[in-house]
Amino acid sequence: MIRRLTLAFLVLSSTAVFADQEVELTFRNNPQRDGVEQHVYVERVPGSGEVYRTTPADHPRYLNSPLYAPSEAVPNAPFDHGAVGPYPMGRPLGITLGDWISASGSGTYRCEDGEGTVAATVDGLIPEAVYTMWYVMAPVPPLDPFANLYMPLGARDGSQATFTTDADGHAEYNAVFSPCLQFGGSQVRAGLTIVWHSDGQTYGSSPGPWSIVSHEQLGAGLPKAEPSRGLFATLSSAFADEDTELAFRGHLERDLVEQHVYVERVPGSGEVYRTTPADHQQYMSSPVYAPADAIPNAPFDHGAIGPYPKGRPLDLTLGDWMVASGSGTYRCEDGEGTVDATFDGLVRDAVYTMWYALLPVPPLDPFVSLDMPLGARDGSQATFTSDADGHAEYRAVFSPCLQFSGPQVRAVLAIVWHSDGQTYGSSPGPWSIGSHIHLGGAALPTK
């Protein structure tokens, strides 16, 4: 049986799937979850100007130590017990580590008639402070470097995520939203997390600058969906012995802004632009370039097209870029997934990788996605090369099976061209500079 696939996201009410289901939530801190404390730091040697993260092994000795922010952003690495510092010390946060880890919370999540409700009670938070609640998807096993997908609970603009504590550090949080949440499964786990904003500001659909002013204090896991319950579950039984047909298309073909190759509208100007569905035809013969600097992805923003400083030439035209096409199948059988795909019109004799990505629905602004190499988390199964004619055959067999799309995120496959000839393990690499999404939109359907 062939299950045909289009770019369109098929919205499915989760009413029947999670009807009348209530889940208990227990919010815990990082030491309780055996993780490295991420967003508050201690000065091990007073006056040194150097701060460190604390770990489950060493945090008891620092319970009376004042906490600081670092002076610059530090990448999240909760599972890396070696990434603890030292880092340059930033501003004091006005609390001790003991104050920080005294926080606790509990609550419930319920889905009924397609509507989700989260009710939570939290104590021991920072008094009279601003907090936000986040719905998080985390790869299983984790990526290295670490990456999670953070979405404000409820409305995508963050308007339902904000709450404040009273003078005793107590807060009651309640949000009602639609559609219901997706649970974890074979590829990602799902949960809720509470973030303190030490600057008193919130940042809409983004948590804000981690460690500098945004500090994750507590988290609660959502359960793993059972295969028989459908949404975002391990699909060994839900789609056993069925082939899902994959259609790979470029950004412009999907009515999106081209993201990772740029044209110089005025030759010699040193300025390059992204192309759009409305203007790309006039640039089909134009050479494409990388930008000189990294540019945030914004495929749905037709205003975020440039100009940007011109980088190196990519030695092909926009017409060459757009001629690429691809198709294939995904199959799940006995808990094992298989992707077979054929591509033509790719960059010749080039290095590519295949990615499994989760995209929030509707998209976040600024745009974010969770990008995972297909198969092994180290990227070893994701790499393939095109031949002298730009043709490639790709096959990967992996376990567990993929998770499909649901009401909160869309699951897709995409291929990335590496113009520098390098791959980057569990990361796609530097977008636009050396890594360029060539074809995507091969959506895994809603179940």
pLDDT tens by residue, 158-188: 999 999 999 999 999 999 999 999 999 889 9
DSSP β-bridge partners for residue 221: 191
The answer to whether 335 touches 293, Cβ cutoff 8 Å, is no
Report which of residues 10 and 290 the model is more confident about: 290
Could you report the per-residue pLDDT of 295-332, keeping only the tens digit for each?
999 999 999 999 999 999 999 999 999 999 999 999 99
Q: Measured in whole angstroms, how far is the alpha carbon of residue 259 from the centre of its chain?
A: 17
State both tokens at 102: 């005294």
Could you report the per-residue pLDDT of 4-52, keeping only the tens digit for each?
333 222 222 333 344 457 999 999 998 888 889 999 999 999 999 999 9
Compute the average pLDDT of residues 236-250: 72
Mean model confidence pLDDT for the chain: 91
pLDDT band at 441 (very low <50, low <70, confident <90, very high): confident
Please tell me the pTM assigned to this model.
0.91
- The answer to whether residue 236 scores a pLDDT higher than 90 is no
- The answer to whether residue 232 scores a pLDDT higher than 60 is no
Transcribe 176-227 into DSSP letters: EESSPPP-B-SSEEEEEEEEEETTS---TTS--SBTTTEEEEEEEEPPBPPG
Q: Would you list the domain boundaries of the chain? A: 41-99, 252-321
